[in-house]
Amino acid sequence: MNRVGVFAAILLSLLGSAGCSAQAGSQQVDSVDGQVGPLRLLRVAVDSPGPRGSIHVAGNSAALLLTIANFGGAEDVLTAASTDVAREVVLRDGDAAARSPLQMAVPASGAAVLHDVTGPHLELSGLRRPLRGGSSVVVTFQFRDAGLVTIRVPVRSYTDVPVDRISQPDGDRDARTAPPPDRRP
């Protein structure tokens, strides 16, 4: 498959999933999109702080996840990102040390995928206040050629694990959950 075909496949999958960003039965937004010049910022969100009721603690970090699609004919570079809720926004690759200054190339007719904490992603480092799922933060992105774009970014709420799959605090498992493998008859 050629480069344009790969780019089209990535964009179709991202745009298709963008319609599924809100939680079923609620008006809560899971992610947002933005645009500056030929660049589209897709599925932008701060990762969930953890199980229901958890928060990102002041002083710690929080993953900022997104995909940047370039519909232009020339490469651009994400050169900075900032927010009032963190000391700085850095680029990380999994658990590796943060790279500074922020420099993330976005290829012409391509995409920079920063949507997985185990791979390259942005991180809000040195949070100035706690962040709770369902809230939002304002983030400004600076690109070398396209310029500035400011987006109100939601902090995702934890919704991945059904309640009947969570262990009870006293160690007893919910009756609807299968027993551990060493206790099966």
pLDDT tens for each residue of the chain, 185 residues long? 455 544 444 544 444 444 444 444 445 678 999 999 999 999 999 998 888 778 999 999 999 999 999 999 999 999 999 999 999 999 999 989 998 789 999 999 999 999 999 999 999 999 999 999 989 999 999 999 999 999 999 999 876 544 444 444 444 444 434 444 444 44
Question: DSSP code of 72?
Answer: S
CATH code: domain 3-14+38-158 is 2.60.40.1890
Residues 6+ apart with CB under 8 A from 2: none
CA distance 39 to 5: 18
Helix H segments across the chain?
3-18
CB 111, CB 38: distance < 8 Å: no
Q: Select from 151, 133, 129 the least CA-distant residue to 142.
A: 151
